[in-house]
């Protein structure tokens, strides 16, 4: 099948799954606009307040079991001992301002670029003590750091943010009866420059963001604590959809139910985040196809939209287009 036809067929394979085109992608949207950076990174803005989520642009060539590096990528392979500088040119091209940066956890594909972005924008960084330790050591001013652990209610301009305790994805089948391992913390005495492997999880958070007349629940990994989501009624959910979710029992159906079947779901943390932006995104779309099918089965009225990296999505136009 022609690759373009495959992408359109995948993203519009049934009612409730949006087409691959982006409505008014080149126009100035009214209302809520969301831009996917790749990995778990997003910009969310109502035109007044800018919220960044796990902003990662460097896309280091780090091999993982589910994301093989591209043979066409001329960059050197990255290991846990590698010092990886931020791709400041790409960051500067796509980040001009931010009011707040919410961080789900401190792995490198979530926070390697965080110090540069935070210092560039002057935004408040919301995250765990591990996130704050890494930022502090990297020269981010203390006044920009907001340490949270869950259940905090925060306001930044036109955005209200609730911090939700969460869990990192399980990368192997859990041993029955075994206690969950404690997440490794970012070394408090670490000194920059940091090796890639020093960016430890440090605990995981999710967030409920109210902005521009919408409520958005967002995750940065493939796991969650169901009881912490009870009572939420988001109309938009950004859900981790890499294959690791298969280790969580009934992952997608449970999320759709506890989140009360959001109107719009956009997959996050599904793309091959260790290849450059010019690597064709459609080569990794096969990885997200099962997740789309899971949402369709569990929540037929929910629209699933797979955004193109770095292309703003006019949420109002998208929902209007998808409304019966």
DSSP assignment string, 55-103? ----------SS-PPPTT--SPPP-TT-B----HHHHHHH----SEEE-
Give the residue among 244, 294, 206 at the shortest CA–CA distance from 67.
244
Task: With H, G, I as helix, E, B as strand and everything else as coil, classify residue 6.
Answer: helix
Q: How many CA atoms lie within 13 A of 248 on its CB side?
A: 22
pLDDT at 4: 37
pLDDT at 181: 65
CA 294 from centre of chain: 19
DSSP state of 17: B
In the chain, the percentage of residues whose pLDDT exceeds 90 is 75
pLDDT at 184: 76
**Sorting pLDDT into bands at 50, 70 and 90, what band is 225?**
very high
Residue bearing the bigger pLDDT, 12 or 138: 138
Encoding tokens for residue 259?
């989140």
Q: Which domains does the chain have, with CATH numbers?
A: 3-172+182-322 (3.60.15.10)
d(CA 45, CA 54): 15
Q: Is the torsion defined by CA of 84, 166, 33, 252 positive or negative?
A: positive
Q: Is the pLDDT of residue 267 over 60?
A: yes
Rounded to 10 degrees, what is the CA torsion of 204, 265, 64, 89? -90
Q: Is the pLDDT of residue 100 over 80?
A: yes
User: Which of 242-251, 279-288, 292-301, 312-321 shows the lowest mean pLDDT across its residues?
Assistant: 279-288
Q: Write out the H or E segment, with its range, that includes residue 239.
A: strand 236-240
d(CA 205, CA 270): 18
Where b means 16+ CB within 10 Å and e means fewer, 239-258 reads bbbbbbbeebeebbeebbeb
Where b means 16+ CB within 10 Å and e means fewer, 275-300 reads beeebebbebbebbeebbebbbebbe
pLDDT at 9: 34
Q: Is the pLDDT of residue 296 over 90?
A: yes
pLDDT tens digits, one per residue of 25-80? 333 435 899 999 999 999 999 999 999 999 999 999 999 877 778 888 999 999 99
Average pLDDT over residues 86-105: 98
**Sorting pLDDT into bands at 50, 70 and 90, what band is 322?**
low
**Radius of gyration for the chain, computed over Cα atoms and rounded to the nearest angstrom:** 19
Average pLDDT over residues 237-266: 96
End-to-end, the C-alpha distance of the chain in Å comes to 30
pTM of the model: 0.89
Q: Write out the H or E segment, with its range, that includes residue 275.
A: none
Average pLDDT over residues 180-197: 83
pLDDT at 7: 36
Q: Is the pLDDT of residue 23 over 50?
A: no
Average pLDDT over residues 77-90: 97
Encoding tokens for residue 242?
């890499």
């Amino acid at each position: 099948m022609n690759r373009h036809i495959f992408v359109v067929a995948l993203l519009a394979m049934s009612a409730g799954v949006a087409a691959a085109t982006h409505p008014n992608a080149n126009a100035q949207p009214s209302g809520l606009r969301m831009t996917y950076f790749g990995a778990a990174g997003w910009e969310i803005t109502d035109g007044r307040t800018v919220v960044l989520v796990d902003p990662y642009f460097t896309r280091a060539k780090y091999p993982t079991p589910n994301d093989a590096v591209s043979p066409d990528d001329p960059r050197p392979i990255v290991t846990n001992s590698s010092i990886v500088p931020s791709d400041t040119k790409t960051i500067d091209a796509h980040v001009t301002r931010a009011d707040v940066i919410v961080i789900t956890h401190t792995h490198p594909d979530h926070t390697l670029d965080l110090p540069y972005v935070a210092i560039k924008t002057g935004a408040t960084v919301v995250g765990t003590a591990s996130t704050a330790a890494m930022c502090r050591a990297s020269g981010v001013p203390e006044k920009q750091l907001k340490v949270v652990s869950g259940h905090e209610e925060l306001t930044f301009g036109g955005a209200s943010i609730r911090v939700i305790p969460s869990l990192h994805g399980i990368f192997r089948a859990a041993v029955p009866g075994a206690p969950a391992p404690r997440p490794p913390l970012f070394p408090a005495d670490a000194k920059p420059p940091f090796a890639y492997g020093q960016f430890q999880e440090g605990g995981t958070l999710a967030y409920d963001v109210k902005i521009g007349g919408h409520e958005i629940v967002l995750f940065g990994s493939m796991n969650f604590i169901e009881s912490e989501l009870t009572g939420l009624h988001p109309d938009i959910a950004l859900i981790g959809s890499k294959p690791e979710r298969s280790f969580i029992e009934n992952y997608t159906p449970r999320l759709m139910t506890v989140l009360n079947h959001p109107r719009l779901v956009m997959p996050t943390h599904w793309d091959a985040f260790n290849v450059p932006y010019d690597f064709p995104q459609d080569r990794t779309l096969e990885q997200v196809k099962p997740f789309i099918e899971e949402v369709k089965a569990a929540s037929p009225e929910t629209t699933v939209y797979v955004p193109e990296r770095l292309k703003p999505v006019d949420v109002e136009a998208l929902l209007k287009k998808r409304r019966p």
